[in-house]
Chains A and B, each alone.
Chain A
């Protein structure tokens, strides 16, 4: 019998311990592999000329990689804890620490390498399907399977390296003394939770304080830049951990003092939680964070996909906007406009045409519009102005126009934060009475805007126009909400696609953690329930206790991350679409149903296994 034989048997005969970790690892590597296959696709350069897509895919791969690193390190640490006693047996039988480390290292490397090979094989099999989905998402004409040499080599090297480093690093955590001590007694009670009210309060205040800086002191946030967000992120992570821990301590204390405690199975339930409070804290914490990541990835990205139409309309008001600058000749302009209108007619698009002139002060980046022309325009309320009054209209969407730049001696009667032209084109527009307008000096920009129904469907028409007309920065400009919409939906769809894959990884990690916990504690739980059954606990009562424990493990993190999700979404509601609440609720409901189903399935199986003789 060789040393490697022991290594192999330790894994193969303990496969149920490794299975969830193995599957989650395979899944992460697989997603990484598929992302890189997409990113390195030979047609990628054509689909995505600005290469933002490729960068996004690589960035997502990077997130997967970092996450895998944390997940694998955590899993290996859990394995090590579970194996502590058998490590003790090896040591006392005469294994040196070097041999023990080597054994653990080889075990981890073996699992890791099998996971890599499995992922590559599965990856190669499903890559064509994945690329077909990607083709739909990217709306590419052609996205065939190819021989992905670079992605394969990259995946193998990066993950082999990751497994190598984590395995090597984790063997440093083998506690020789603890392992030997375990030989003396079977029972290894967890350390009970210590109440840390001061530390918890301090970290919570730090986290809240830092978070509120976003609203209170923007200069402070800007001065720290990226560092601020990293520190905020860490502070929040620590604060959440301490809060969960403190909540457990308080809950146990209150529960033990209440009358409820002495009724039926409650004492047994609370005692169970108390005995394993440390593990519970860790699991509830990890699941809360993972679920929050899942919720955020899906809801923010999906709701951003949802609001694209409104955002596009807000940024680019018109279906097609032709801006003729002073250097543009009249013939050229007429030629363009008749081409545009001919194209619309050919394609059967009913359009409304709006013509108006904006007198632009190019230094101040402001424009003047005649009242009569303004009142013809859609999207704006009709105004009536006295001879000495003016009305201000926004240059950028949602930004109140400033009247400071206006020095014609008129008084402001009102303003609108709805942008008149393409967002950010000028700082502000001032609507003035027609005779004042005639007096104003400035560069004449002749605007011709077209509006038509079902504009999101008119990509082909706008493409035809863009190909013929294009733009010339010195003479004339052209912009269309249709093309913007197409570009935006493309980006958002890719983001959603990536976010969805990421959230699947997080979800699989969460499942894996619960599975691993139930699996490793099963033997001692069974023994415990067997012995209390002897003193008269019914199957029904065991079911009650298990139901409460599982519910605690599964739904407490769910509710916590749900609450945090809404706090986050409410605080960034200005940044994302208003439709997010509804979309998020639907998303969370779907997850809730999934969790409910898996809760009942897990409970059913777990209870049956517990009470089986």
Chain B
């Protein structure tokens, strides 16, 4: 049995309002070290809420989350911040770059907050920038680069501190098809090179087929999971079949 990087135990999330809405209805999930998992499901199934509860953006109503054996919801602000900048990486659909900082400064942000020594910063920057092929962008501002480039920068920021767990919410949602391929190839090679575990939410079966495993969420419950075999094409077909069966997924493609 391989090492678990993420253990989710009976995760529940309710939105209390005029009508209480239960977005997550008790999800159990485990992510192995160096595993790449995609989360899929119809709109409103709770897939993004699931990710947000793990990434500490949302507070779960009930259940446990353990990342690398630690529960982020039991940490105080200082510990949580430290935890985020050393063990977690985030990639968002709309990139969330800081517009007042250059590309280089955005990438270095987690290291700056951690007060990493300048030499080490340069070293890590060099490594990640070469890997992502964005050397020429370093001195540009965030509004001077394209969507695909922005997402590369966001990925660079998410992996520069070599996090144990990389969380991505629709990372290709705002990209054209060429950029989608580039970015997904990057995810795959990050997974190979940095030995990071990746949890990615997507509604795109093609994007999901880059993962090793796809889990399906429906009505706030874990519905099914399928593993990738030898062929990526075969995997894609299986994902499509499951989505068709789930309903609602097709019309988003």
A98 in contact with B100 (CB, 8 Å): no
> Given A1-B112, A6-B112, A99-B81, are A92 and B57 neighbors across the interface (CB < 8 Å)?
yes
B141 beta carbon closer than 8 Å to chain A: yes
B157 in contact with A93 (CB, 8 Å): yes
Per the 8 Å Cβ criterion, residues 155-205 of A in contact with B are 176, 180-181, 183-184, 186
A9→B90 CA distance, assembly (Å) = 23
Closest-CB distance, B70 to chain A (whole angstroms): 15
- Chain A residues lying within 8 Å of B84, measured Cβ to Cβ, are 91-94
- The one of B48, B104, B112 that contacts A3, using a Cβ cutoff of 8 Å: B112
- Chain B residues lying within 8 Å of A13, measured Cβ to Cβ, are 99-101, 141
Closest-CB distance, A185 to chain B (whole angstroms): 9
- Chain B residues lying within 8 Å of A90, measured Cβ to Cβ, are 98, 109, 113
A226→B111 CA distance, assembly (Å) = 57
> Given A91-B81, A94-B86, A98-B77, are A184 and B98 neighbors across the interface (CB < 8 Å)?
no
A186→B82 CA distance, assembly (Å) = 26
B81 in contact with A9 (CB, 8 Å): no
- Chain A residues lying within 8 Å of B109, measured Cβ to Cβ, are 6, 90, 93
> Given A9-B105, A10-B100, A99-B81, are A93 and B90 neighbors across the interface (CB < 8 Å)?
yes
Q: Nearest CB to that of B121 among chain A residues? A: A1
B237 beta carbon closer than 8 Å to chain A: no
Q: Nearest CB to that of B111 among chain A residues? A: A1
Per-residue A-contact encoding for B96-135, CB less than 8 Å = 1, 0 else: 1111111011001111111100100100000000000000
- Chain B residues lying within 8 Å of A184, measured Cβ to Cβ, are 48, 52, 57
A: number of interface residues (CB 8 Å): 29
A86 beta carbon closer than 8 Å to chain B: yes
A394→B102 CA distance, assembly (Å) = 79
- Chain B residues lying within 8 Å of A1, measured Cβ to Cβ, are 104-105, 108, 111-112, 118, 121
A346 beta carbon closer than 8 Å to chain B: no
A86 in contact with B78 (CB, 8 Å): no
B96 in contact with A94 (CB, 8 Å): no
Interface size class of chain B, counting residues whose CB lies under 8 Å from the partner chain: 35 or more
A6 in contact with B57 (CB, 8 Å): no
A218 beta carbon closer than 8 Å to chain B: no
B28 beta carbon closer than 8 Å to chain A: no
- Chain B residues lying within 8 Å of A176, measured Cβ to Cβ, are 77
Q: Nearest CB to that of A11 among chain B residues? A: B100
- The one of A3, A9, A89, A96 that contacts B97, using a Cβ cutoff of 8 Å: A89
Per-residue B-contact encoding for A90-107, CB less than 8 Å = 1, 0 else: 111111111100000000
> Given A1-B121, A13-B141, A89-B96, are A180 and B82 neighbors across the interface (CB < 8 Å)?
no
Closest-CB distance, B59 to chain A (whole angstroms): 9
Q: Nearest CB to that of B87 among chain A residues? A: A94
- Chain B residues lying within 8 Å of A14, measured Cβ to Cβ, are 99-100
A86 in contact with B52 (CB, 8 Å): no
B92 beta carbon closer than 8 Å to chain A: yes
A93→B57 CA distance, assembly (Å) = 12
A183→B85 CA distance, assembly (Å) = 17
B35 beta carbon closer than 8 Å to chain A: no
- Chain B residues lying within 8 Å of A89, measured Cβ to Cβ, are 96-98
B94 beta carbon closer than 8 Å to chain A: yes
